Structures are given as structure tokens and as C-alpha cells.
Structure 1
């Protein structure tokens, strides 16, 4: 039987609060009833299964588009929402430093001392809240130093990505497509103003005196002698990095830890054999995808997907976190399982807009957890404290209280 819009009237009652608190029930029903459906609160079609997400992400009949809230937060041209020559230039700008061989040449020297430094701050205490004290700081400090933002504290970097996240996911719209909470963009505006205040003088310096920092390379690499890319051109991609690239490894580490705590025997395996960490992290990224539903595509011509006719110019949000819980692809997907058959997941996207930093992010998570488990092999979750996940566009634990014998 064909699903009709009448069948989907329940979607009229879905709120952003529902999605941010726990998107899984809504998306489980979408996967079952309508793998591609218009969700009124988002003002967009949503792809919820692995098959439809991958089809849209790789189809020549779609190109990238940034969500309205994302465009309001980052401005244009952000690397996640452009196509053609601009996309090729921005990918060419960021990718050289992110190639595996290049990352291997510096990532250990960059990340391991940072991870060790944060572990040392609490390893003798016997307890810590690992999201705020380890996972997020290791993630933001590593990327901040790579970008050239050594002068910015880890706390400020964390504040920036949280503010940008609140703004980027302020996606609720009314029946006219107008944002229902315009004030929700204020945190992102504040963060962008602070970022420019810090980064503008650095760009001034790197324009005249290039250094081995990512942003300096973005200004100069691939440009004619004496020319640099305009700061207005690269700022939207800087914001993309200061949100998504800073958020993903930290929340990927935290989600992997929560998953391992749910399977104590698997946690013990990983602690005893760190070579299992890449597999543990991959399952953590599938189990709770940090970039849960933050990317979109737009049809370039009339197209039919999953039995739904879409006119040209129709945006579709790709809900990779939902796709990674698709029962058509994974057995018992709501469970964390280190020994799950290593099927590909969509936590890093698909197609020509798949995450450019896949290898880098995985190395940050691996090194961070290696250092944590080496220092504290008897780590346990504090069961007196709950673990709450939050977010629809970006998702991860809000806190993770742990204890150990010292």
C-alpha cells in the first residue's frame, strides 16, 4: 500500500524538543512508514534509511545545500553547502593536510601530549566527568592547535562550538518557512563575532608571513604568487570546522565510552588489547553518530526517490544517525556491539561531500582513548549519575561521570 500524506499526519505533532531530546522514536517510525517524508517542523523532506540517505547523497540529480539554519549560522560559501568550482576549491584548500599519509606524519605528536596532559589533571582523583574534562577538551585543543589557534583557551573553543551548535540546529520553522525562534541564533552570532575578533589579526599576520597552520595554508595554497583567498571566503568554512570538526571527535569518544560501559566484557577486551580501538570507535560512531542530521542535498531536476516525486529544487535532510540504526542493515542497531560485523556506516556521510577529516577524526579518537585507558585501565561509569544524550543535528552525551580506584 502506498503511504499517503494523511497517514503521516502524526508528523504535524513532532517538535524540535522531541528531536533534540530523543530523535530515535520519530525516525524509527519514519524508517518503517516513510523513508523519505516531509517533516513540517523542519520545513524539509527527511531521508531516514541507509538506502535512501546513500541514494540521495550519491545521486547525480542532487547537489549539496546548507540547511536554512546552517546558512544563517555559517554564511556562504560554507564547504558543506557549495558545489562545482567553489566546492572543488574549498575541498582542495582543506584536503592536503588531511590525507592519511600527511596526518600520520604529525597527528601523534599533536594529539598524544594533549590527551596525556588532560588525563594527568584527574587521574589521581579517582573520578571525573569525561565529556567536559577529557573528550571535548582533547578534541578542541587538537584541532585548535592545528588551525593555528593556540592562543585560544580550550574552554573558549568549547564555548564556541556549543554556541554554533545551538544556532545551527535552531531549525524549527512555521508553515511559511519562517524560523519560530529567531533569538536562537544569538549564541551563534556572539560566537562568530568573537571568532573574527581573534582570527582577523592572525589572518593579517599569515597573509604577510605564512606559517604552518591550517588557516595559513587555506589563505595561500593553490593561489597565484602574491595572492591569497579572501577572509570572507574562508570564514564560513572556519565556522564549519569550529563546530563540526571540533564536536565530532570529542562526542565520538564519549559515545564510544558509553557504548563500551554498556558491555563491560567488551570494555575489558579493548583495555587489554588497544588494537581493538578502531573497531570500538567505528561502532561508537554508528551507535550514536556525532553529526546526526546536519547535512542536506537539493534536487537539481524532478526526481523520484523511495516512491516520492520531488520537484526540482527540493531540499532533503540526510539523517545519518537514523540510517545507522536501520534494521534493514544492522541487527539490533540500538545496541552497542564491538563484535558487530564491520559493515560500512554513514557517520561521516557519503558522496563527494563526505567528511574530509575522516582519517584525522579517527586518529584523534584512537589516540585519546589509548591514553585514557593506559592511564586508567580500571575505568568505570559512575552508575549513581545518569547519561543523557542531546541533539538532533549533532548528538552526544552531555556528561559522563566515571570513577576508578587509585
Structure 2
């Protein structure tokens, strides 16, 4: 039998998590060419790297139900939406989606995002320089979601701290040969964040149970439940952790990635600043160019299956690498080049199938508004030549810092 493990090239055994976090592109380019489905011992699962195979598996929820990576399961716990299928998954989608439907988002998004975006820009516009990720993009991203959820009493800095700590935990993916976590202490930051979240949220949940309001978590507790009943905290917390990580991280990284891409094409940046209607297209290309959720979705084979010419036994875990799929040479010309004028081809930034990201419209709207306000307030923004653009991450990817300057 030809299996992914028997076909795995020897060089894959030398891949390190550090290497993937610093720059996954070289590794995944080679995987797409030599082993589109490859068993990676360091992760304890198979990597799927081409767009065609990622789309094929993502759309087949019957034969490829969702599971969660070992590090993801350790971070979020049982009951996270990423790890559910069938009626349970439909129930959780019904819990989280009402606030994220386009009609609902259009009704609140401007009031949710613009005032805080303008406040942050007013605080920095006279400085002439900034790390725009730390001083604007991440704050706008976390504040927007935090206020939607009902965490308006949690500081912006604390929200950023929580999502960074959860990210450290979720991406602590290195496994030993016997299937144990290579760095158990890597989960400590995430555990600290979760303890703080529970301590802060438990009294609020007590209040929302008796006094429901318009906030998302309050609706999670009550919507779809029989009269007099609310969802258990064991349902709320794992999914809150998913939102506090993915839904807070993704818009901020997408903002940074889009601006970094436009900096690589100055003439395109000028066009977007002059014509804000181009911002959605610029954002779409930015999120294709460097997917904020680069490699996180995991599926399991229900039966022995042959995919991409490789036979996998029942129970095989595969990780769909959306960032790699979005840079597949067979789908995109010069995929590692940012290009506003690229022919639009559907990408996998927000996943696919029944587990496609529920917050696609919300996240895109937050990014759009943040960039509209930035370019309106600081139209002469430039990349600081004294700092390189430093991307980081393999599960989640975006600029760690993005130093910019402008004339005051």
C-alpha cells in the first residue's frame, strides 16, 4: 500500500516548528512539489499543501469530519466549534452566527468600529511614526470583537494579551515520537489567560442569565434554548476561547498583511488611497497573499481513503494548510507577489465547506473600515526604511511589527 508515511521524503523529518514559524513558504513550496500529502512527525499528523486537495477535503464533511489539532484541543478544551460535526456543529453555528450574518453586521459595524478607530488614530497622528500593528491594527481588531461579545469592560491591552497568550498555546504543536507534547510548558500562557477569562466572565454570565441584553455572549446563552434554560458554561467557554483567538487575531493580521502588501507595490498603494472603493479588493488580495489563519483546520478520515494518489488509513489526521493553498503555483501566477490587479480566484483564507469561518463578513468589514479610516487620516503613510517587515507564524501568520512614518 502506498501511504503518505511511506512516501514522506526524508528531509521532512528535519523540519522544525521554529522554521515554519519564521518562514513556512520554502517548506510548503517543496511539499506542494514533492509530497502534497505528507506525514510530518513533528506535528503527529499529515499536512495537505495544495489548493486542489485542500478544497477537495474541506468540502467533504461526510468522509472528512472536523477534529482539532492536539495543541488546539489542549488549548480550547472539549466542545469547541472547530471540533464538532453534524447536529452539534449546526447547533453551535446557530449559537454564534446571528450576530455575524451580513444583514446584522451592516446594522452595527460602523458604530462598533469607526469611533474607536478614529480615537486610536487621533492618539498617534501627530507622532509621525508608529508600529501600526501594535498601536492601531491589533487594538481596533480586539476592541471591535470584544465590544460585540460584551467585553466592553475589559481593556484593549488585556484583550490583546489574552489573544497572544492563547496563540502561544494553540501553536505549541511540536510533538515527540511517542505522541506527547514536546514542550508542555508552552501551554502555561494559554492556561493563565483562560483562568483570567473565567474569573472575569463568570459574574457577567451570572448577570446575563437573569438579565439578557444585546451582546453576543448573552445571546449565546439564551438563543435557541427552551424557556427558562440557558446554555451551560461548558459550551460557552471553549467557543469563547476560539473567538478570542481566531476572531481577534484574523482582522488585525489581515490589516497588517494588506498594508505590507501595498507597501511592496507603491503605485497600487497610491491607487487605493486615492480610491477607497478599492480597499475590499486590496484586502482580499492581502489575505490571499498571506492568510491570517495559515494552517489550522484539521480533518479525520472516517475510512481508508485514497486522496491525491496516496492511501490513508481510517483515523488519519490531516491539517489543511490554507496559506499554502493560497500560494499554490497551479492556481495563481506568481503567488508570492502581492498584486491588486490579480484575477480574482476563490481562495481558502476563510476555509471551506460547512466549517468555513462564520465570521468572514464581520472580519472583512472590520478590516475595511480600519483601512478606510487610516488612509483618510494618514494618506501619506510610508514604510519606515529603518525597519524590515517581519512576518511570523505558521498556524496564524501576520506581521509582528509594521513600522510606518508620515509627514505631520
TM surpasses 0.5: yes
Partners of 1:173 and 1:2 in 2: CA distance: 21
Show the 5 A alignment for 1:131-142: 131-142=133-144
CA-CA distance at 1:231 after TM superposition: 0.7
What number of residue pairs does the alignment pair up? 406
8 Å contact from structure 1 (residues 127, 402) kept in 2: yes
Number of the residue aligned with 1:146 = 148
Show the 5 A alignment for 1:113-192: 113-192=115-194
**Is residue 2:267 matched to residue 1:265?**
yes
Q: Which of 71, 74, 77 does residue 73 from structure 2 map onto?
A: 71
8 Å contact from structure 1 (residues 139, 250) kept in 2: yes
Number of the residue aligned with 1:359 = 361
8 Å contact from structure 1 (residues 69, 169) kept in 2: yes
CA-CA distance at 1:2 after TM superposition: 10
SS in 1 for 2:306: strand
Show the 5 A alignment for 1:4-403: 5=6, 8-59=9-60, 60-403=62-405
Partners of 1:297 and 1:114 in 2: CA distance: 38
CA-CA distance at 1:169 after TM superposition: 0.5
Partners of 1:170 and 1:33 in 2: CA distance: 26
CA-CA distance at 1:279 after TM superposition: 0.3
SS in 1 for 2:214: coil
8 Å contact from structure 2 (residues 3, 311) kept in 1: no
Cα distance per residue 1:341-368 (max 9 Å; x no partner): 0111100000100000000000000000
8 Å contact from structure 2 (residues 4, 312) kept in 1: no
Q: Quick one: structure 1 residues 215 and 2, their matched pair in 2 at CA, closer, same or farther if it must change by over 3 Å?
A: closer
Cα distance per residue 1:120-151 (max 9 Å; x no partner): 11011111110000000000000000000011
SS in 2 for 1:309: strand
Partners of 2:54 and 2:8 in 1: CA distance: 22
Partners of 2:288 and 2:82 in 1: CA distance: 21
Partners of 1:312 and 1:2 in 2: CA distance: 12
CA-CA distance at 1:334 after TM superposition: 0.5
CA-CA distance at 1:289 after TM superposition: 0.5
CA-CA distance at 1:5 after TM superposition: 3.5
8 Å contact from structure 2 (residues 5, 38) kept in 1: no
Partners of 2:117 and 2:15 in 1: CA distance: 40
Partners of 2:222 and 2:215 in 1: CA distance: 11
Partners of 1:304 and 1:296 in 2: CA distance: 17
Cα distance per residue 1:45-93 (max 9 Å; x no partner): 0110100111111113100001000000000100111111211110000
Partners of 2:115 and 2:343 in 1: CA distance: 33
SS in 2 for 1:269: helix
Q: Let me know the Cα RMSD of the aligned residues.
A: 1.2
CA-CA distance at 1:175 after TM superposition: 1.1
Cα distance per residue 1:202-249 (max 9 Å; x no partner): 100000000100000000000011000001111100000000000000
8 Å contact from structure 1 (residues 292, 320) kept in 2: yes
8 Å contact from structure 1 (residues 3, 33) kept in 2: no
CA-CA distance at 1:20 after TM superposition: 0.7
Q: State the TM-score, normalized to the length of structure 2.
A: 0.98
Partners of 1:144 and 1:255 in 2: CA distance: 22
Structure 1 residue runs of 4+, over 6 Å off?
Answer: 1-4
8 Å contact from structure 2 (residues 7, 35) kept in 1: no
- Please identify, of 243-252 and 294-303, the stretch whose mean Cα deviation from structure 2 is larger: 294-303
Q: Quick one: structure 1 residues 4 and 140, their matched pair in 2 at CA, closer, same or farther if it must change by over 3 Å?
A: closer
Q: Quick one: structure 1 residues 397 and 226, their matched pair in 2 at CA, closer, same or farther if it must change by over 3 Å?
A: same
SS in 2 for 1:121: helix
Q: Quick one: structure 1 residues 2 and 16, their matched pair in 2 at CA, closer, same or farther if it must change by over 3 Å?
A: closer
SS in 1 for 2:401: coil
